[in-house]
Each structure stands twice: as C-alpha cells, then as structure tokens.
C-alpha cells in the first residue's frame, strides 16, 4: 500500500488532542503523538482530558509529561467532569470546548462518533461543532462494547514506538491494571491488526476516521 504525500500544504504546528478519560489519548493515538512530537521540531500540543478527577487526574498529568516530552511546546488541560455523565452536563462541557477555539489547531484528535460510550460520542460531536474548518482525526478505543469500525486513515509507526506507547501506558495508569481489557496484548494487538491492514513495514499502525480530508496540491 502506497502512502500519499502532496506538496504545498502548510506544516503542522499546533495539535489539539482531546480525550474524555485519563488514558484515552494514550490508547487511541499515543504512538502517533509520540511520532509527531519527535518528527516535527516546532509542533505545539494542547492535551485535554475531560474527566480527570483525583487519582485519574494525577495519572493523566504524569502520563502527559512523558508523551509530550519531545514537543517544542505543550499545554495540559485537565477537567473534572464526572465519568459517564458528560451528556447530562452538556452546557458545561460545551463551554470547555468553546475555550479551546483559542488553540487554532492545524489538526485535532478526538473520539469517533460511532463510539458506544456516551462521553466519547459527546466529545466527538462537540469537536466537530467547535472546529468546522479544521482537520479532525477520530481515534478508536478498544473496549467491551465491541464497537471497533472500519477506519480509513492509517499512521504506520515503528515497532519501537508501539512498544514505548504500551510501556508508558501500563506504567502510568496503575488504577486500571485490574481491568481485564487493560493489557499489553490488547493494545499491541489492535496496532498489529491496523498495521496488517495498511501493510506497515514495522507491522504496527494506529488508525483513524477521517470524515473530511482536505488535500492541497502544488
């Protein structure tokens, strides 16, 4: 499978990454963010966690330090909206998204609209409502709901980055280690499947849903 690179597009300088829960960004696009911050020397990342109260919030802050360590600049925003109740606090969550307009991102990472978790769906809805003229990439989260879909954009990552992502994820979120789905095989397995689908040289990739993909030529 051939990759597509067309000249003339503006470089990525500002990235906005939105996750509902403390480990969502790491699971959904952690390797991609590691690659971006190490490949693009001027990139600035705004890392947003919507549900980060108490222990989960501390874990989110500690994890972000490692995932954003290579970025030229970074901002960490941790809210404390109650897990599982965000649609019922819609006005307050909407105000949090309105505040993010100041970032003026070149690319936004967010949850996918087909996600069966109600918080995730709301985050996706508000992302598109807030950023209408931006490149939005929706990442996937494996879970018991069985809602993985058919993504249409793939980011091949090296085996080293795939392993680093999983190692950081497992170290950072001790509160989740007793969950039956939170393990190395699940996270590496999904990246391996997506790597197979896009014929990644390393065998690993992260996948996204790109519902609107502007392409600049020339």
Mean pLDDT, residues 155-173? 97
For residue range 113-155, list pLDDT tens digits in order: 999 999 999 999 999 999 999 999 999 999 999 999 999 999 9
Q: Spell out the residues 6+ positions from residue 52 whose beta carbon is closer than 8 angstroms to its own.
A: 21, 22, 60, 61, 78, 79, 80
Residue at 2 is within a domain: no
The CA distances from residue 205 to 59, 105, 129, 141, 198, in Å, are 25, 23, 28, 14, 8
Overall average pLDDT of the 108-113 stretch: 98
Average pLDDT over residues 53-81: 93
Structural domain including 95 reads: 18-209
- In this prediction, residue 7 has a pLDDT band, given cuts at 50, 70 and 90, of very low
How far is CA 58 from its chain centroid? Answer: 19
Average pLDDT, the chain: 93
Strands 107-111, 44-51: pairing kind: unpaired
136-168 b/e (C-beta count within 10 Å ≥ 16 → b): bbbbbbbbeeeebeebeebbbbbbebbbbbbeb
How many structural domains comprise the chain?
A: 1
**Statement: residue 112 has pLDDT above 60:** yes
The CB density around residue 174, as the number of other CB atoms within 10 Å, is 10
In a domain, 216, yes or no: no
Collapse the DSSP code of 47 into the 3-class scheme (helix H, G, I; strand E, B; otherwise coil) and give the result.
Answer: strand
- CB of 190 within 8 A of CB of 142? yes
Residue 119 lies in a domain: yes
- CATH code of 124's domain: 3.40.50.10320
């Amino acid at each position: 499978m051939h990759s597509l690179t067309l000249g003339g597009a503006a470089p990525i300088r500002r990235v906005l990454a939105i996750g509902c829960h403390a480990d969502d960004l790491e699971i959904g696009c952690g390797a991609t963010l590691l690659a971006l911050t190490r490949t693009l020397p001027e990139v600035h990342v705004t890392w947003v966690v919507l549900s980060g109260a108490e222990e989960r919030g501390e874990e989110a802050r500690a994890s972000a330090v490692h995932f954003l360590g290579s970025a030229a600049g970074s901002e960490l925003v941790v809210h404390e909206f109650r897990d599982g109740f965000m649609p019922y606090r819609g006005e307050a969550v909407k105000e949090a998204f309105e505040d993010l307009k100041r970032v003026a991102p070149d690319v936004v990472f967010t949850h996918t609209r087909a996600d069966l978790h109600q918080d995730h769906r709301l985050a996706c809805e508000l992302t598109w409502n807030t950023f209408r003229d931006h490149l939005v990439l929706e990442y996937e989260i494996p879970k018991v709901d069985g809602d993985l879909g058919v993504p249409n954009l793939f980011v091949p990552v090296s085996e080293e980055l795939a392993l680093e992502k999983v190692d950081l994820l497992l170290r950072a979120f001790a509160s989740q280690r007793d969950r039956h789905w939170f393990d190395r095989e699940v996270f590496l397995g999904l990246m391996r499947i997506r790597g197979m689908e896009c014929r990644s040289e390393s065998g690993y990739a992260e996948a996204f849903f790109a519902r609107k993909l502007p392409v600049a030529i020339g």
